[in-house]
Amino acid sequence: MGKKLTDAQIQHYRDFGYVSPVDAFSADEAGNYLQQLEAFEATLNQQMGKGFNFKPHLLFPWVDEIGRHPAVLDAVEDLIGPDILLFNLAVWPKKARDPAYVSWHQDSTYFGLEPSTQVTIWVALTDASIEAGCMEVVPGSHKLGQLHHGEVPSKDILLSKGQTIDVPYNSSKTAFMPVKPGQFSIHDTYLIHASGPNQSDHRRVGLGFSYIPTHARNNGSTRLTAMLVRGEDTFGYYDDEPRPRVSYGEAEQAFHRDAVARFQRGLDEQAAKY
């Protein structure tokens, strides 16, 4: 038995590359987080999409709180050990009846990690049903290792460069990962996954936290930032990210700008490799 996951869930992750759904907090708490997100969006008059969809845990204490939720970190610890860095957070909200989708990809493609150990925890703030465009995965595909991706230009693909797997693989069997507000799904860095358009009448909002063990270094030429969220970092491969103290404060915005610019340079460098 792990700290959060059962032995069967841990074995399922090893065998198939994912686990879902897992409970973190109540639907009421999810509603409170969503309210904070929407209050911020109202001040900017835009979705927490482009410009804010990377690393908002550096801008908002409520996002930092979710990223450190014991249920989340206990599950991560069960899979990658006790010394944990939050490496990235990506948010791709989908409006009601939104044609936007995420094409078939592997998260490892972006990150340039050695070893490529990374786990994504996708926390739902609203209902992410199949109809609303939850994630869909190819069970067991994490065992295929890194596959080649090509850039697919499409205004509806939410991935920044439309990176999509462009080599054949067996996609005859897929599984959906529907999650309710306050629940999360877990997937491995090499797992092939996607998410479809939102065909429901409500917004689909979730936060995709990427965690790595402190020993996973980035092989790019830009020194990246990361936040130690549990344990100890004796490697020092990343500049420390400070926790946000006030929502969208000046210092928070300045650090966020710099961290995202570096992260973006890292993404561009990795993109040149596939």
Ligand X SMILES: O=C(O)CCC(=O)C(=O)O
Q: Which residues contact 42 (CB under 8 A, 6 or more apart)?
A: none
Residue 159 near residue 227 (C-beta atoms within 8 A): no
Residue 41: CB minimum distance to ligand X, A? 17
Residue 129 near residue 136 (C-beta atoms within 8 A): no
Q: Which of residues 96-155 bind ligand X (CB under 6 A)?
A: 102, 107, 120, 122, 135
Q: Which of residues 196-215 bind ligand X (CB under 6 A)?
A: 206, 208
- Interface residue with ligand X, options 118, 195, 200, 270 (CB under 6 A): 195
Residue 180: CB minimum distance to ligand X, A? 15
For helices 70-80 and 7-16, give the axis angle rounded to 10 degrees.
60
Smaller CB separation from ligand X, 104 or 238: 104
CA distances from 235 to 15, 47, 221 (A): 29, 37, 17
Residue 212: CB minimum distance to ligand X, A? 14
Q: Residue 92 interacts with ligand X (CB under 6 A)? A: yes
| Contact string 71-90 vs ligand X (x = CB under 6 A) | -------------------x
CA distance 119 to 108: 10
Residue 137: CB minimum distance to ligand X, A? 10
Residue 88: CB minimum distance to ligand X, A? 10
Smaller CB separation from ligand X, 209 or 252: 209
Smaller CB separation from ligand X, 119 or 224: 119
Residue 10: CB minimum distance to ligand X, A? 20
Smaller CB separation from ligand X, 9 or 120: 120
Q: Residue 192 interacts with ligand X (CB under 6 A)? A: no
Interface ranges with ligand X (CB under 6 A): 90, 92, 102, 107, 120, 122, 135, 193, 195, 206, 208
